Structure 1
Amino acid sequence: MQIYKNLLLKNQTQSFIDDKKHEKIVVSNIQSRKNPEDKEDFSKLALANYLDEDTGFNPLGITAYKMNYFLPFAYSFGSLGNDNRKMEMKFQLSIKKRLFENLFGLNEKYYIGYTQTSWWQNYKHSSPFRETNYQPEFFVDFPLENHSFFNNLRLGILHESNGKGDENLESRSWNRIYASTAIFYERFLFVPRIWYRIPEKRKDDDNPDIRHYLGNFDLNLGYLGKDYFANIMLRNNLNLRRNKGAIQVDIGYDIFNNGIYWYLQYFNGYGESLIDYNRKLQRLSTGFLISY
């Protein structure tokens, strides 16, 4: 019996020592995170997220995809129609999940992604959601390891709709096949994307002229600083006679050194949302963006 007591006492003592060591490690980690010199570099975070190279503990394997933001002040300089207020709230949730990889020996990775963007008339009495766009998609990333600038080739199929019925003629949807790549040079990022709209039967098409307003491509050009970023998105139908397009400018700064960025978004053109795809809007929005 005395042997068992000695073993128990030894285990308890060792456990106490291990707990103290663990406390020191945790405190050290917390202190190191508070050090401004050890701030997470946004350019490294963005690249790791785009290439899905996050090595942190993530049992579900769900990671950020496009930008995740919350903009409580989104002001439109023009009318939104239907007695909607010019000031509203806009927010976006975007995630992805890797399914499997390397089926053809090319180190390719297969994903499903989901992005939801909502425009909420929260300053109106009944606070209705003016519009919500849903974007489920499936895509494959092929690494381009032999190129110094090109990081990958992405091929995907994307559905986008606003989930509305035909009662008020507000149903919008379309399906696209797209290809894109990411070009990183130092802190500069260039992401061109082209797409092909999958044809629909004319009687079932909610927006047959959407290509005229949204074209067949978009370009993103960004600069990723250590604690800030700036990005410009360009889109155009390349029709000189009936030209339609859009520009969006995004600026963010990590104020609190915790991955939550003050975020400013400016949009001018067609297609900010599906319900407004054929209406030209100019909007200025501000709020917060979550980087990790």
Structure 2
Amino acid sequence: DVKLNSPSSLIGQALTEILQHPERARDALRVLLHLVEKSLQRIQNGQRNAMYTSQQSVENKVGGIPGWQALLTAVGFRLDPPTSGLPAAVFFPTSDPGDRLQQCSSTLQSLLGLPNPALQALCKLITASETGEQLISRLHQVLVQLQAGEKEQDLASAPIQVSISVQLWRLPGCHEFLAALGFDLCEVGQEEVILKTGKQANRRTVHFALQSLLSLFDSTELPKRLSLDSSSSLESLASAQSVSNALPLGYQQPPFSPTGADSIASDAISVYSLSSIASSMSFVSKPEGGSEGGGPGGRQD
């Protein structure tokens, strides 16, 4: 029970629910990232006064798909029913115990950093829980080999081979997912399929894919596998990501500056193009020490 109810497991379950709606998932993830980043920004700025937005506003922004309430609750938001003339509200957290918001932000950025075909394929894959472990293992293997090689290893001229079972390959979404990450098919055998990294493959996208899979299929392993210690094969990427988390929402610089092939099909820039959401979703803050049932103390964007 403890494992199933841990924040990381609850985040994974909520994301799985959201990804059951592939046509609206990306927009919903953007809205949720905005809310999570807004909370982190307030916490980092030491703002302790209560702030809320209406549940209906969030519901409209995410396109009415389920899962957003569970995700926000898992990272410390409070959903209150309507009271004394006020609509049902979403109250922002004022602290981040266990770095739940940071972890959620990192996961949402990874999902949004995937090329759209990869995210769409992942929406199909999440229904088959047995896919997670094998894909996590293979992508981790690729990143370890990349780390061991030259810093800017040319994946096209020195491709990395991976093998997966034929059963996994045949699951809906699997070959589309790997193709979208830049893997080329080499050989289909009776029991396994051999792939290699192709021209479109890059380290950043594989990292996004690995972190997304860990959050969806193997939540309890996420902090352990993606630790920022010096021995981690993901050290430079993880540290770059932690820097991006500390920057204020709305900045136009993507988490990793795209150069060359790395910029292909990445949605990293649009993750932060959230001004339209920010301008149309109103946040109401209350003065320090004010009662939570009182009137709004001002607006904050």
Band the TM-score falls in, shorter-chain normalisation: under 0.3
Q: Normalized against structure 1, the TM-score is what?
A: 0.23
Q: Which has the higher contact order (CA 8 A, sep 6+)?
A: 2
Structure that is richer in strand per residue: 1
Structure that is richer in helix per residue: 2
